[in-house]
Amino acid sequence: MVQPTDTQSLILWVGTALMALGTVAFIAMGWGEKNERKQEFYIITIFITAIASVSYFSMATGYGLIEVPVGGETLDIYWARYADWLFTTPLLLLDIALLAGADRNTIATLVGLDVAMILTGLAGALARSSALNRMLWWGISTAFMIAVLFFLVRTLSGQAARQSSAVAATFSRLRTMILVLWSLYPVVWVLGTESTIGALSLTQETIAFAILDVTAKVGFGFVLLRSRDALEDVSTSA
């Protein structure tokens, strides 16, 4: 059975620790919060880092890693990333959508497109048929991502523009984080070991995803939960 190398395992343990620390910090920040609408943001954000710490733990200990045979080669694939992203990326979108005051249909569309993005990415990561087939799945997944980002910029920004200036400022910061960080995931995937380009080693890819994951979850959570004025405005608006 394939195991992470010592370096990969170390990076993944650091990832586990940072996600767990983020979880504890968010619990502490939300402790004693009485307002139900503000509690929503704490609950969602706490789940995001909690899920990620479990996923990182599974990867650090080797459970989250499998071998996928493709055309005579064997790829080592950390499948647990996709289990993490399947739940955490919709939760991240829910955070920013609730901040923007989005309606149910917008939220449902965003989450649907996002789930499609992760599941087609997973199909690409697990596909055994051929390298080309894996790349086609990557293309489908990337198309879903572009749709998610398009909705974020078009529909959600329009809804956020109707909120207070504190909400609009936090929204715009979080939106920039999503636009920049999320766009890098397909780049790392295609440069890394999931595709046959193989510009990044599995260790380099593990570092890149760890930096992206910690920033997109713990960094994102801090930006959101420290914007007390914005959370205040959301909780008092109708």
Binding site for ligand RET (CB under 6 A): 52, 85, 88-89, 92, 117-118, 121, 138, 141-142, 145, 182, 185-186, 189, 213, 216-217
DSSP the chain: -----HHHHHHHHHHHHHHHHHHHHHHHHHTT---HHHHHHHHHHHHHHHHHHHHHHHHHTTTTEEEEEETTEEEEEETHHHHHHHHHHHHHHHHHHHHHT--HHHHHHHHHHHHHHHHHHHHHHH--S-HHHHHHHHHHHHHHHHHHHHHIIIIIHHHHTTS-HHHHHHHHHHHHHHHHHHHHHHHHHHHSTTSS---S-HHHHHHHHHHHHHIIIIIHHHHHHT-HHHHHHHHH--
Q: Which lies closer to ligand RET via its Cβ, residue 143 or residue 161?
A: 143
Nearest distance from residue 178's CB to ligand RET, in Å? 7
Q: Which lies closer to ligand RET via its Cβ, residue 84 or residue 233?
A: 84
Nearest distance from residue 143's CB to ligand RET, in Å? 8
Q: Which lies closer to ligand RET via its Cβ, residue 52 or residue 80?
A: 52
Q: Which lies closer to ligand RET via its Cβ, residue 205 or residue 233?
A: 205
Nearest distance from residue 80's CB to ligand RET, in Å? 12
Which residue number has the CB closest to ligand RET?
A: 121
Q: Which lies closer to ligand RET via its Cβ, residue 108 or residue 143?
A: 143
Tokens 């990337």 belong to which residue? 142
Q: Left (φ > 0), alpha (ψ -120 to 50) or beta: where does 113 sit?
A: alpha
Nearest distance from residue 104's CB to ligand RET, in Å? 23
Using a 10 angstrom Cβ sphere, with 0-12 exposed, 13-18 middle and 19 or more buried, the burial of residue 6 is: exposed
Nearest distance from residue 181's CB to ligand RET, in Å? 6
Q: Which lies closer to ligand RET via its Cβ, residue 106 or residue 195?
A: 195
Nearest distance from residue 196's CB to ligand RET, in Å? 14
